Amino acid sequence: MIILGINETSHDASISLVEDGEILFAGHSERYSKIKNDWYNNKEIYEDVLNYGKPTHIAYYEHPQLKRSRIFLRGGASDWKPNISMNLPVKYFSHHYSHACAGYYTSKFNDAVIVVLDAIGEYNTSSIWIGEGSKITSVHKKNYPFSFGLFYSAFTQLVGLKPNEEEYIFMGMAAYGDWAKYFLKVNEYFPDLKKQKYNFHKGIFDWDMPISEQDKFDIAAAVQKVYENRLVNFMSMAQKLTGKRNLVFMGGCALNCAANTMLWRMFDDVWIMPNPGDAGSSLGAAAALYGSHLNWQSPYLGYDLGGKYPVTEIITSLIRDKVAAVATGRAEYGPRALGNRSIFADPRDPLIKDKVNLIKKRELFRPFAPVVMEEHADKWFDMKFSSPYMQYAVKCLQPDKIPSVVHKDGTSRVQTVNREQHPGLYEVLSNWYAMTGVPVLLNTSLNIKGQPLLNDEADITAWENTYNFTICR
Ligand SMILES: [Fe+2]
């Protein structure tokens, strides 16, 4: 059985291909169409996935009729339908079950609680499951309008950012704000798990105060604080209901790396797969149909540029320019560049941040993330766990030595890497460490603000021509 998993008609369409538990392909539509968060899969991604095998079954990540009824009931478009055209048997799985499967079946756990928090699926917005062996059982569900994700998105929109897309910018703004200023006011919108009745789908329509530039940062800080408080409440409930000590966390909310760090204080072990949002659900749906753990090795599952990891070229570029861009091998499945479509830079230079921000045309307050050799991580960052997919913000212990990867609040969103996970990137870091005494590099995505990560050869040529900068490959 070769299963084609599909996620589309929501933000960030994707496709996965799974044969007998082996993940042959997993990629994002946006990387092929060049449309950020593309809602639909396209001819190019279908053509690419077929290079890896001919599917015999299709697994779809939602129940389209149920979602359609919900969209219809709230007055949205009623002519919406899934865009599946292949003449193969199709099996539909619920939105939250696909999230749960993407998480649990890529984890190493045989016994865990699975928590899914997002904006909305068909009707479910929050769910708790138990994973035991190959079985996933539903324990608890909450429906729209209760929603962690819609709460966060509505406030993202209130400060003038794009909901369902720019929550990560809003999250970064929190470090620049005073959370106490608007805490009580924001808390009224989400006072506890029982009393949240506000319909965030309509936005924060009753905000009755003018919002200055600084207020935007203060609101972001208050929203992050309220979100973290409610998250701890929800995770405590999940623990009480199941008694489990291993956590699988999924849904778009699992991209909140500042809040994710708190989970390590509540559970013995935590797994967040590198693509916990809806784009990960094409793999989740395929895993649901397979019905058991997948052979999860790495997130490098998308378009293949081929080539050997250009270690020498990267080091040469770093010494010469303090910056090195790299595009090689298979593209990352998930929103973060983890070394195959990355820009690296010297984290010791405080001015390098502005240089990279100008290249990427990003807001100057946006933080950059470090990649660190795993065995050195706890000497540079306050962490007792590894973070191979850049999912946790932790306190930097030596901020004076690597100022360009430390956020305003003293934290860094760390990626740890060991030789097994990525031999080429590990070698780059080892060489850099031998030369500088610092086992850390700045790592950011190889893209331009608002555009998807670079994917193929044509993207590389276009980028090089635009910036007059050679990409290592
Ligand atoms: Fe979702």
Q: Would the pLDDT of 367 be above 80?
A: no
Number of C-beta neighbours around residue 440 at 10 A: 28
The residues whose Cβ lies within 5 A of ligand 1, an ion, are: 118, 278
pLDDT at site 82: 47
Distance 182 CA to ligand 1 centre (A): 28
Identify each DSSP E strand in 173-299 by its residue range: 246-250, 269-271
Find out whether 454 and 447 touch, Cβ atoms under 8 Å. Answer: yes
| pLDDT category of residue 301 using cuts at 50, 70 and 90 | very high
The half-sphere exposure of 251 on its side-chain side, counting CA atoms within 13 A, is 25
Number of C-beta neighbours around residue 59 at 10 A: 29
Nearby residues of 302 by Cβ (< 8 Å), 6 or more positions away: 25, 26, 27, 28, 31, 330, 331, 332, 333, 455
Contacts 24+ apart (CB under 8 A), 455-459: 455/31, 455/32, 455/302, 455/303, 455/331, 455/341, 456/32, 456/303, 456/305, 457/305, 459/34, 459/327
Nearest to 437 by CA among 303, 347, 312: 347
Nearby residues of 420 by Cβ (< 8 Å), 6 or more positions away: none
Distances (CA, A) of 346 to 306, 312, 355, 363: 26, 16, 11, 20
Nearby residues of 135 by Cβ (< 8 Å), 6 or more positions away: none
- Output 244 or 89, whichever has higher pLDDT: 244
**pLDDT tens-digit series, residues 248-265:** 999 999 999 999 999 999
**pLDDT tens-digit series, residues 103-156:** 999 999 999 999 999 999 888 999 999 999 999 999 999 998 899 999 999 999
Distance 86 CA to ligand 1 centre (A): 24
The number of angstroms, rounded, from the C-alpha of 112 to the middle of its chain's C-alpha atoms is 21
pLDDT at site 9: 83
Distance 273 CA to ligand 1 centre (A): 14
Task: Please give the model's pTM, rounded to 2 decimal places.
Answer: 0.94
Distance 141 CA to ligand 1 centre (A): 14
Distance 285 CA to ligand 1 centre (A): 12
CA–CA gap between residue 289 and residue 91 (Å, rounded)? 8
